[in-house]
Structure 1
Amino acid sequence: MNAERLLVHYEKIADAPDAIARLRRLILDLAVRGKLVPQDVKDEPTKGFLTPSDPAAPFELPSSWKWTGIGDQLHLLNGMAFKPTDWAGSGLPIVRIQNLNNPDAPFNFCNPEMAREQSLIDDGSFLISWSGTPGTSFGAFIWDRGPAVLNQHIFRCDFKTQAFIASFLRIAINGRLDEMIARAHGGVGLQHITKGKLEAVLIPLPPVSEQCRIVAKVDAMMALCDRLEASRAHREGMRDQLATASLGRLNAPNPETFQKDASFVFDALPSLTKRSDQIDRLRQTILNLAVCGKLVKGTTANVALVGDYRTLQNGYAFKSSWFSKTGVRLLRNANIGHGEIHWNDVVHLAEDRVPEFERFRLKDGDIVLTLDRPFIVTGTKVARVSANDLPSLLLQRVGRFVETSPGLDDDYLFLWINSPHFNAQIDPGRSNGVPHISSKQVEAAKIFVPSLAEQRRIVAQVDALMALCNRLETSLTATAATRRRLLDSLLVEALAPVEDRQRDAAE
């Protein structure tokens, strides 16, 4: 297996979430290891301070290559520590890390007279960003947008020797970013590498003529990656448009075409849903159709208020001094997700306090609705209590539905309060900066209530469709895992030494 054959198999792995990014990384890895283009015996060997197979070398190189340190090749001159008061409306552009990573990022400007000479750059200047978020901020760049001045955290790199051409040196450094990041230090998400550590990073040094061949090959393969990325984005965009249009026709149905539209969507589900977020949108569409009487043919429903059938009972504000390591589990907002209760963060009420709070005990099948929503932007958190969750009590700001009159099936109610139709009626206020839903808001929300028999048919149909969504999601997960394993295998084989590949082929 080699790089070319990996590209032959690429269509099988193209939809892996990070396939293109990893392919770009592979190209750089092959380039800095001398595996992207063949060596030419006519090339003049390079001079460095470590031989290709030296025990201190990070990995073995072709015999005509050497190892050298960044500090042996470059003078590193840091940018200026500008303050907001130094900025001007026009003048000399100040280059920040975001200007390196994003050509469209806006510039700050300064008075040219305040810029120090060692921080000035122009077209062709070689730069290394040495601080920021690992994986996005570190790297080598060749500047091509005219006169500017560097902000701090970026080195201007002046060449000490003529051993490298700039375009290959950029590849050599970016191919060793893992080593740079490993030497960096700082807090989570924001790190930097010191000048001394950066100067000590080893980079591979091939003959100049081979550097030129490698640059040409890398440019061609990165251009291919660009095309693959654009093709994937176009494909995803078209699929999203089709899915949005198809689901939109169901959410705003035309009575004359609804059955045909619905049949198309459900027949085309595997093609319309290639990501988990698309399946989530499909689930919401199914719920919306169900509670609006569009999912089961011939459904007729009356409009009522939730409060006509159910009232909300709030939980109790238990004191922390009553908690213990054992006892009856307490249900809190943090334990409730969409449709499920999680006990990864359990608080217990001491046994001797339990009897006085029996009226707050949950029973199997109860519906629990959080009234306090600090963890999500939209949508309520609703859970059904199962026998496996018991015995439990309710904590403050968690509501419990209490039956007041017959005629509304709990399973149908559970579908309804999970649907976009319910969420569209809720306008949360804020309590101490936290979004909050009042019990009165929930009880005043309008609900479509067909006959009990019809409610149960709707629930059965939703269960069947949700099971289909679950199978699709499982299939997507399995397919993604298969693609990832194939990608991992291809990358490992592509990076294997030439002699290993020849031996495998012979076997």
Structure 2
Amino acid sequence: MNVKTSLEVGKDASKPEQLITAHIDIWTSAILAKSSSGRGSSKKYELYGISKLRELILELAVRGKLVPQDDNDEPASVLLEKIAVEKAQLIKKGRIKKVKVRDKINEDEKSFELPRNWSWIRLSNIYDVRDGTHDSPKYQASGYPLVTSKNLASGTLSLDDVKYISTKDHQKIAERSAVVKGDILFAMIGTIGNPVIVDIDDEFSIKNVALFKPINGLLNSMQFLRIQLIVASKYLKNNASGAVQKFASLTKLREQAVALPPLAEQQRIVAKVDELMLLCDHLEQQTEASIEAHATLVEVLLGTLTDSVDADELAQNWARISEHFDSLFTTEQSIDALKQTVLQLAVMGQLVPQNPDDEPASVLLEKERLIRESKIKQPSSWLEITENEKPFESPESWIWLRFGDVYPLEYGNNLPKPKRSNTGEYNVYGSNGIVGSHNAACVKSSCIVVGRKGSAGALNISLDDGCWVTDVAYSCIPIKGIDLYFAFMHLKTLGLDSLGKGIKPGLNRNEAYSLPVAIPPLSEQHLIVAKVDELMAICDQLKEKLQQSQETQVQLTDALVDRALE
């Protein structure tokens, strides 16, 4: 797709502020999927377009492209003269310190052409820029809060989870950087940036945080300064010092070059930014509501498939979904839900027809022989499976057993990292995949690897002649009569990842062993695996097309941003 061609719009949408509102569909359509790994993940998507729109609004604001200039405004150069006089008086009175910075701003520091009546200036020429302590004062149970970068992380000043220091330490820090309402704080270490305007009267100290104080002439410019600092954060992060933890020095903050508009225009810019950010909030809420409504609709419709009482009802429900296939499966979340439904239908015996000539599963499975030969132990939880325990009605040729009857889990063996390599003959599996290789194998055949600690319930399959399974995982070799691919697919539907409990969840083997599972005849297992592979390939094609579409939307978004900043 030619992105530039698709962005050809009329002259009426050529101005930056018009580009913002003329392409709402592009801003709201550029959505990226997040990784679904890990417990406690909230949103599985990123509103890339709206995020870029927010960045664009701020970038346009500091470049003078968000509101028109007014020739009647007092030029920024006049404002600078007033500030210089005010600043000289404050230095003479000892209210602020004189700071040496480079006066001349080089051409490479000027990232855009200035609008009329604007001026380039360094931050320390127009603001009193200080920093807090870099020492580590002794903490105590109560006293004065010590604000650090983490207290600015949300974009607002938060005194939650704050350390306290003594009056003596607070007074010592206050001599250098007393914070008052209306000042701006800026994180200098770690997540550099997150400028916030102090909106509380409480006294507190700061550590590894920069402090911007207005000179009287700029008392009404702090909202605009915050916008400038948000935009400047990107540059400051890229040029921060420190190998382990990035750090923006006070000197770099003081010498940061910014474009200063007339005071009246600053106020108009701030008002327009507030207006457009409110628009972004509404777009975000509407987009999220639409995504969640779509996910709920998909969940409900797919649920009708697994809840079907017979083949006829299943066919009817599938026909209803097929009519709207293109509009239903338009997100990675919906395609993943479709995949999971396919697996669920497969293990319920609703994906392929049964063959009455198949040998029943009960003839193949050798539970009693394995127990007699003491190859597996029989926990007390292996009681007869009652009808109430069965989550669905299985075909007649299938057999219900406990998980532990057919999927024995064996503890892995510890293999310290120094003993692993990348050149060994056998793969080494941790709880969530391959973590190296080794020249010996603790499992001598193909197997399923089930996460035991950390990524509890995570599943991997080893199709080699052997592998090493570490002590944070189980190895699982299904008993005779169970196809390995069917077992791998089957385990994905049992919710093993939800069994682990605690801060570091661990999969309890006995808890898994008590789960009721339905096993089909071996020949039907093969048919099920083939059908699942066929349908999963279709789902993968859907996802590939979706990813291509998402890439196009991202390109359109980026092209819009480039056009607006030209």
Tell me the equivalent position of 1:290.
346
- Is the aligned partner of 1:369 residue 2:448? yes
Looking at structure 2, the residues matched to 213 and 374 of structure 1 have their Cα atoms a distance apart, in angstroms, of: 56
Looking at structure 1, the residues matched to 246 and 419 of structure 2 have their Cα atoms a distance apart, in angstroms, of: 43
The CA deviation string for residues 219-278 of structure 1, in whole angstroms up to 9 with x for no partner, is 222121111111112212222333344445555666696655555456545444444344
Question: Residue type matched to 1:26 in 2?
Answer: L
The CA deviation string for residues 413-433 of structure 1, in whole angstroms up to 9 with x for no partner, is 232122235666x66999xx8
The CA deviation string for residues 345-384 of structure 1, in whole angstroms up to 9 with x for no partner, is 65352xxxx8xx8x9654xxx4x2225544524x232315
The answer (yes or no) to whether the contact 1:76–1:156 under 8 Å persists in 2 is yes
Looking at structure 1, the residues matched to 495 and 63 of structure 2 have their Cα atoms a distance apart, in angstroms, of: 58
Runs of 5+ unmatched residues, structure 2: 1-13, 31-45, 81-101, 355-394
Bigger drift between 219-228 and 139-148 goes to: 139-148
Looking at structure 1, the residues matched to 164 and 536 of structure 2 have their Cα atoms a distance apart, in angstroms, of: 58
Aligned-residue Cα RMSD (Å) equals 4.2
- Is the aligned partner of 1:203 residue 2:258? yes
Equivalent residue of 1:185, what SS? coil
Q: How many matched pairs?
A: 460
Tell me the equivalent position of 1:24.
54
- Is the aligned partner of 1:489 residue 2:519? no
Change (3 A) 1:258 1:67: same
Change (3 A) 1:37 1:444: closer
Looking at structure 2, the residues matched to 251 and 217 of structure 1 have their Cα atoms a distance apart, in angstroms, of: 51
Tell me the equivalent position of 1:474.
544
Tell me the equivalent position of 2:524.
454
The answer (yes or no) to whether the contact 1:50–1:57 under 8 Å persists in 2 is no
The answer (yes or no) to whether the contact 2:429–2:467 under 8 Å persists in 1 is no
| 1:423-462 pair list within 5 angstroms | 435=506, 446-462=516-532
Change (3 A) 1:220 1:413: same
Question: Residue type matched to 2:525 in 1?
Answer: Q
TM (normalized to structure 2)?
0.68
Equivalent residue of 1:382, what SS? strand
Tell me the equivalent position of 2:461.
383
The answer (yes or no) to whether the contact 1:409–1:455 under 8 Å persists in 2 is yes
| 1:399-414 pair list within 5 angstroms | 405-406=480-481, 408-414=482-488
Query: Percent same amino acid among aligned pairs?
Result: 25
Between structures 1 and 2, the one with greater strand share: 1
Looking at structure 1, the residues matched to 480 and 108 of structure 2 have their Cα atoms a distance apart, in angstroms, of: 80
Looking at structure 2, the residues matched to 237 and 492 of structure 1 have their Cα atoms a distance apart, in angstroms, of: 31
Change (3 A) 1:144 1:321: closer
| 1:43 paired residue among 73, 91, 103 | 73
Tell me the equivalent position of 2:188.
131
| 1:155-170 pair list within 5 angstroms | 155-160=210-215, 162=217, 165-170=221-226
The answer (yes or no) to whether the contact 1:312–1:399 under 8 Å persists in 2 is yes
Runs of 5+ unmatched residues, structure 1: 497-507
The CA deviation string for residues 76-111 of structure 1, in whole angstroms up to 9 with x for no partner, is 3445777541525xxx77655555435595545979
The answer (yes or no) to whether the contact 1:130–1:192 under 8 Å persists in 2 is no
Tell me the equivalent position of 1:395.
468
Equivalent residue of 2:184, what SS? strand
Equivalent residue of 2:29, what SS? coil
Looking at structure 1, the residues matched to 511 and 208 of structure 2 have their Cα atoms a distance apart, in angstroms, of: 52
| 2:399 paired residue among 302, 311, 317 | 302
TM (normalized to structure 1)?
0.75
> Offset of 1:487 from its aligned partner?
1.0
Looking at structure 2, the residues matched to 322 and 147 of structure 1 have their Cα atoms a distance apart, in angstroms, of: 56
The answer (yes or no) to whether the contact 2:193–2:229 under 8 Å persists in 1 is no
Equivalent residue of 1:37, what SS? coil
The answer (yes or no) to whether the contact 2:183–2:213 under 8 Å persists in 1 is yes
Equivalent residue of 1:162, what SS? helix
The CA deviation string for residues 163-207 of structure 1, in whole angstroms up to 9 with x for no partner, is 57222222222221122223433455x533222221111111112
